[in-house]
């Protein structure tokens, strides 16, 4: 049985991945850590506060809990990163370097998310290949490309089992993302239910890859369980499941809330970031090397998001 450490467990991915991994590997075998206390995570298994920028504290958790697999989920997202690039580099790369070093010292497997944000304007926009030019123009993207290179370097130099996925914008109904360029695709569901109206910061014609959280959880487990002899790539895999513009997601919401309206107040920083990212990734390597196969599309996700959130918010889904 694996002994897993999650760093940044209170964030958008971590808050659901922790519970998912606890179901699979047993509550006691998944140690959640975050810089902030979390009662929800402490209720279902071991939880410790941990500053991911403190290498001695990270090593101590790994040693005390006899950890063999680490998920490092610490990151400032793209839009917030542009407001303080130095902080974004220090947090994103600091947490990653500490994770790599602790993984090396204690011989742990290491999972780190990369992102569609690792690509920039010079990569092909449509069916962006697995292996292509990577020249991001955000500090977030620079950190992600650096992380991919460092993961491969530690695998090559030290034989470390590093694995990673380039995630699309993640849509979930539990924990909100914070400071990302793709956040609109989560906010739009809340606002549609609460106000039947949303003002979008992303221009109406911009396509970005998106993914629903259940597919994120499945991808993390499937990649970490994959037979290493089948992995030609490690850091990092393109995955894709849906790609849409604000107009397309709004039309889908209108199938359930017919009087939902959308207008735009475009944020120039987010617009530049979004236009620099791929429209749609080619995920054939993930499909071939570890059997990636998404289960959710835009219409099923919209139905599920609206039904879960309408119950939680106590508002009716339809007229």
Active site residues: 140
Among 14, 136, 151, 169, binds ligand SER (CB under 6 A): 169
* Residues touching ligand SER, count (CB under 6 A): 11
Q: Is 147 in the site for ligand SER (CB under 6 A)?
A: no
Task: Tell me the C-alpha to C-alpha distance, in Å, between residue 218 and each of 20, 224, 228, 289, 290.
Answer: 9, 10, 17, 15, 12
Q: Is 243 in the site for ligand SER (CB under 6 A)?
A: no
Task: Enumerate long-range contacts of 93-97, CB under 8 Å, 24 or more apart.
Answer: 93/143, 93/146, 93/147, 94/52, 94/53, 95/7, 95/8, 95/52, 95/53, 96/72, 96/143, 96/146, 96/147, 96/150, 97/150
Nearest to 18 by CA among 71, 80, 81: 71
Among 15, 18, 112, 115, binds ligand SER (CB under 6 A): 115
- Residues counted in the chain: 319
110: three-class secondary structure by DSSP = strand
Cβ atoms of 281 and 294 within 8 Å: the answer is: no
Q: Which stretch binds ligand SER (CB under 6 A): 59-67, 176-184, 190-198, 282-290?
A: 176-184
Contacts of residue 159, defined as CB under 8 A and 6 or more positions apart, other chains included, come to none
Q: Which stretch binds ligand SER (CB under 6 A): 53-61, 121-129, 174-182, 252-260?
A: 174-182
Among 69, 72, 78, 310, binds ligand SER (CB under 6 A): 78
Q: Which residue sits closest to ligand SER, CB atoms considered?
A: 180
Q: Is 72 in the site for ligand SER (CB under 6 A)?
A: no
- Tell me the β-bridge partners of 261: 197
- Rounded least distance, CB 97 to ligand SER, Å: 20
- Rounded least distance, CB 79 to ligand SER, Å: 6
For 38, what's the count of Cα atoms within 13 Å in the CB-facing half-sphere?
28
- Rounded least distance, CB 96 to ligand SER, Å: 15
- Rounded least distance, CB 166 to ligand SER, Å: 8
Q: Is 117 in the site for ligand SER (CB under 6 A)?
A: yes
Q: Is 171 in the site for ligand SER (CB under 6 A)?
A: no
Pick 167 or 189: Cβ nearer ligand SER: 167
- Output the six-digit token pair for 149: 């290179």
Cβ atoms of 185 and 171 within 8 Å: the answer is: yes
Q: Is 181 in the site for ligand SER (CB under 6 A)?
A: yes
Among 182, 235, 236, 243, binds ligand SER (CB under 6 A): 182
Q: Is 77 in the site for ligand SER (CB under 6 A)?
A: yes
Q: Is 206 in the site for ligand SER (CB under 6 A)?
A: no
- Rounded least distance, CB 117 to ligand SER, Å: 5
Pick 5 or 116: Cβ nearer ligand SER: 116
Q: Is 180 in the site for ligand SER (CB under 6 A)?
A: yes
- Output the six-digit token pair for 185: 């695709």
Integer Cα distance of 242 and 208 in angstroms: 9
Cβ atoms of 244 and 210 within 8 Å: the answer is: yes
Cβ atoms of 255 and 61 within 8 Å: the answer is: no
- Rounded least distance, CB 314 to ligand SER, Å: 28
- Tell me the β-bridge partners of 204: none
Residues 31-70 contacting ligand SER, CB under 6 A: none
Binding site for ligand SER (CB under 6 A): 77-78, 115-117, 140, 167, 169, 180-182
């Amino acid at each position: 049985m694996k002994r897993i450490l999650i760093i940044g467990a209170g964030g958008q991915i971590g808050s659901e991945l922790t519970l998912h991994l606890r179901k699979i590997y047993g509550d006691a075998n998944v140690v959640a850590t975050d810089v902030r206390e979390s009662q929800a995570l402490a209720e279902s298994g071991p939880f410790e506060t941990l500053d991911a920028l403190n290498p001695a504290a990270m090593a101590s958790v790994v040693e005390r809990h006899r950890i063999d697999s680490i998920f490092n989920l610490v990151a400032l997202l793209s839009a917030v990163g542009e407001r303080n690039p130095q902080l974004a580099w220090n947090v994103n790369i600091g947490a990653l370097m500490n994770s790599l070093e602790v993984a090396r010292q204690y011989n742990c497997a290491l999972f780190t998310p990369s992102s569609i944000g690792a690509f920039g304007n010079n990569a092909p926009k449509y069916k962006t290949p697995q292996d292509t030019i990577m020249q991001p123009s955000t500090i977030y993207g620079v950190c992600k490309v650096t992380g991919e290179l460092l993961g491969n370097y530690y695998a090559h130099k030290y034989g470390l089992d590093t694995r990673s996925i380039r995630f699309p914008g993640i849509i979930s109904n539990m924990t909100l993302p914070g400071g990302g360029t793709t956040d609109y695709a989560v906010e739009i569901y809340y606002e549609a239910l609460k106000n039947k109206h949303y003002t979008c910061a992303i221009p109406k014609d911009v396509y970005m890859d998106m993914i629903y959280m259940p597919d994120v959880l499945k991808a993390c487990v499937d990649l970490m369980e994959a037979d290493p002899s089948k992995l030609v790539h490690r850091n990092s895999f393109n995955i894709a499941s849906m790609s849409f513009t604000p107009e397309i997601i709004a039309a889908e919401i209108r199938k359930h809330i017919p009087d939902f309206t959308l207008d735009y107040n475009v944020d120039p920083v987010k617009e530049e970031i979004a236009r620099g990212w791929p429209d749609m990734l080619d995920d054939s390597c993930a499909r071939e090397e570890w059997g990636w196969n998404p289960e959710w599309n835009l219409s099923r996700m919209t139905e599920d998001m609206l039904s879960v959130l309408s119950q939680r918010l106590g508002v009716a889904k339809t007229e």
